Amino acid sequence: MARLVLNQITRAFGDVTAVDRISLDIADGDFLVLLGPSGCGKTTLLRMIAGLLDPTGGSIELDGTDITGMPARKRDLAMVFQSYALYPHLSVAKNLAFPLKVRGASKQEITSRVLAAAESVDIAHLLERKPKELSGGQRQRVAVARALVREPRAFLMDEPLSNLDAKLRTATRQELAALHRTLGATFVYVTHDQVEAMTMATKIALLNAGRLEQYGTPEELYDTPSSIFAAGFLGSPAMNLLDATLTTADGSIAIFAPGVEALLWKGASPDRDIVVGIRPEHLSVHDGADAAAVPTAGAALRGTVDLVENLGREQLVHCRIGDERVTVSCDRAETWRAGDLVVLAAPAARVHLFDRASGRRLEWQPDAEPEAPTHRPRAELSASVPG
């Protein structure tokens, strides 16, 4: 059992607030990924959970017990570091046995637990080697096995895959996810890699400059990003973000953008600066010269193809829309060329709106989209736009 609750946890280093009032409820068995760009406070937060660093504010609970001031060795949490932190002069077997020896386990218990841990990450054949005789991937497995032998209440991992090459990272990522399913234990895992977060996490805590930006399942973060930052951080290629102006009149929403023809819904006078977000996979490309080919509902962006990139499985069509650049990912069977006049279309339900000043998501509900000529409003919206 390991339910971890962080209450307003804070850490300042002089003037720098590395972690700023973060509260998280991490359920037993969760694979929580702390995700965010370099310097956002991920490692500082993990080290406070591990007991390697004292918070300057807030508290941490483990299964209902306040462990804020408890020394690391008493927390029963195992940490796997980016550097692996193996003892170079000891064999793999002795590295694995070390945490058990410290606890005074019997020789028989040590032997069986070391072997079981080594087998679970497929390194039983390497037990007599020294760390320097191992590849990066093998060292990483030893570091995980050393955490496993302790049978801790939770595993804390700080970018454990960052020293591996791309192929090994993919394989090891799948193994770690499988290990988590087998053990059913709580994992807290630091990374700046969105693919690792999306594929392994049951929950993601996205951090930005020491603050919690969004907390939810990978699907929630991807499908309903709570801010411009979250929208831009998850997804590759990144979500298209366009500056626009939103007006609300008669309960309808209109969006204007400079140089953009019929972007979403036309309406009354400008009222609020917003950012419109549409993921590359939610846009479709249509012949701009053929009005009949363009969907009449949803968002439409008129522009020119700039560049087409063939990625093998799909292609990226980069377009100029007014002053902005918009990317569409689409099937390679479509034959678009630089210079083509196109209309990019997206269903209204796939359009994200954000307030430009605060960066926060604006919630709105498109009504059923009526068939409408392109010069008329493209949809009536029963929107509740906060603020």
Ligand X SMILES: Nc1ncnc2c1ncn2[C@@H]1O[C@H](COP(=O)(O)OP(=O)(O)OP(=O)(O)O)[C@@H](O)[C@H]1O
Please tell me whether residue 233 adopts helix, strand or coil conformation: helix
320 C-beta neighbours (distance < 10 Å), count = 15
- Of 35 and 345, the one with the shorter C-beta distance to ligand X is 35
Question: 14: buried, middle or exposed (CB in 10 Å: 19+, 13-18, 0-12)?
Answer: exposed
Contact (CB, 8 A) for 2 and 185: yes
Task: Say how far apart CA 40 and CA 230 lie, in whole Å.
Answer: 13
Pick from 22, 40, 93, 185: which binds ligand X (CB under 6 A)? 40
User: Is residue 83 a contact residue for ligand X (CB under 6 A)?
Assistant: no
Distance CA 112, CA 115 (A): 5
- How many residues sit in the footprint of ligand X (CB under 6 A)? 12
How many CB atoms are closer than 10 A to CB 98?
18
Q: Which of 9, 20, 31, 42 touches ligand X by CB under 6 A?
A: 42
Task: Answer yes or no whether residue 41 interacts with ligand X by CB under 6 A.
Answer: yes
Q: Which residues pair with 318 in a beta bridge?
A: 307, 327
Distances, alpha carbon 74 to alpha carbons 50, 78, 110, in Å: 10, 11, 20
Q: Report the distance separating Cα 176 and Cα 168, nearest Å.
A: 12
Minimal distance, residue 211 CB to ligand X, in Å? 12
Interface with ligand X (CB under 6 A), residue from 2, 18, 185, 362: 18
- Choice between 18 and 379, CB closer to ligand X: 18
Residue 35 interacts with ligand X (CB under 6 A): yes or no:
no
Give the shortest CB-31-to-ligand X separation in angstroms: 18
120 touching ligand X, by CB under 6 A: no
Structure tokens belonging to residue 180:
């988590």
Q: Is 55 in the site for ligand X (CB under 6 A)?
A: no
Residue 15 makes contact with ligand X by CB under 6 A: no
Please, which residues bridge with residue 286 across strands? 343
Does 38 sit near ligand X (CB under 6 A)? yes
Site map for ligand X, 175-214, x if CB under 6 A? -----------------x----------------------
Kindly provide the residue ranges of all beta strands, DSSP E only, lying in 115-164, ordered along the sequence. 154-158
* Contact window for ligand X (CB under 6 A) among 31-39, 163-171, 176-184, 244-252: 31-39
Which of 43, 186, 227, 240 binds ligand X (CB under 6 A)? It is 43
Q: Which of residues 225-284 bind ligand X (CB under 6 A)?
A: none
Q: DSSP secondary structure string, 5-41?
A: EEEEEEEEETTEEEEEEEEEEE-TT-EEEEE-STTSS
Amino acid of residue 46:
L
Asked if 357 touches ligand X (CB under 6 A), the answer is: no
Which residue, 145 or 207, is less far from ligand X as judged by CB? 207
The residues, ordered by sequence, that sit 6+ positions from 308 with a Cβ below 8 Å of its Cβ are 315, 316, 317, 318, 336, 337, 338
Compose the 286-325 pattern: x for residues touching ligand X by CB under 6 A, - for all others: ----------------------------------------
Segment interacting with ligand X, rule: CB under 6 A, options 12-20, 98-106, 227-235, 305-313:
12-20
Residues that bind ligand X (CB under 6 A): 13, 16, 18, 36, 38-44, 192
